[in-house]
Amino acid sequence: MASPVMPLRSGMRGRWRKGMALARATRARCRAAWLVVCLLVASSSYAARARAEEDPESLAAARETEASARRAFQRKNYPEAAEGFAAAFKLAPRANTKFNEAESWRKSGRSEPAADAFEAALAFGGLTASLEDRAREALAGLETKLGRLVVREPVGAVVDVAHAQRRLVPARIHLEPGRHDLTVDFPNGERARRSVTVLAGEVLTLTLEVPTPASPAPSPSSPNDASPDATLLVLGWTSTGLGAGALVAMGALGGLTLSTVSRYDDTGNTDPDLFDEATRYKTATNALLGIGGGLAATGVALLLFAYLGGSEGGDGSPPAGWLEPTVDGVRVRF
């Protein structure tokens, strides 16, 4: 006879396993629900903190400014209403405020700022479905008549063109077709101006290069700071060397002259050949003395002019000690 114990134990194990699986599934569902609750609480608390961190004075000023703009819109003073909505948006950015600004510009006949404001309202987000459709339809109609200027770089520069003043780059600006003057203030403090031409329904993209700051003009150099004149240096050292060589030769020839004169004196001043030889030596010695002295003096003068005079001054005037040719020779100017 078979024992009933084994089937009984097998059934208990199956029920136990099903119970454990159900418990695990329940715990997983609880964790998921708890995670959702935590996320909802965190998001709501973050939104509450964001609202609390808004400046109450700015919010109050924005509400007052927007109310004034609405009153101007009701009076059909659309330019004043557009400026009021723009000021309110700066105080407390809202997509509806930017949409109202765009409508005000459009009703005042200013297509370019109206297109900019419609595009900004759509990019900001938060419009209702009906307002978003109206903004897209109005923007599409305006862009068929306007050109678009897109300035991509350099990031951080400031652009002024037509109605768009102090726009930070990157910037998208709607313009009337035609030629416009553009001013760019770069982050390094440089400013550039250029002209752009836009066509209706087309996009002109600009990538501007940052200009390098102009280097300061070199200050006029003083004569003492000027470099020596290479030509004068060569002439000066050549003349000095030739003069020194001539003086050395003069010294040697002078010794021969003295020796010849001494031999002539030993003959009782009666030998005509020694007399002629001594005369030739003496003449040559005097000639070498004059040539060597003149070359040496000229070389020294040229070196002085080269080192002290230098190149011409910063105003284009000749340097001190300037040599210039004349009909009579060479003249020195100081």
Residue 52 predicted with pLDDT over 50: no
For 57-111, write each residue's pLDDT tens digit. 878 888 899 999 999 999 999 999 999 999 999 998 999 999 999 999 999 999 9
Average pLDDT over residues 188-211: 90
Q: Please give the pLDDT value at position 270.
A: 73
Residue 215 predicted with pLDDT over 90: no
Q: Please give the pLDDT value at position 244.
A: 79
Average pLDDT over residues 229-234: 71
Of 97, 95, 62, 101, nearest to 81 (Cα)?
101
Average pLDDT over residues 28-54: 45
Average pLDDT over residues 148-172: 92
More confident residue, 293 or 6: 293
Question: pLDDT category, 46, cuts 50, 70, 90?
Answer: very low
Single pTM value for the model? 0.50
Residue 1 predicted with pLDDT over 50: no
Average pLDDT over residues 232-251: 75
Residue 37 predicted with pLDDT over 70: no
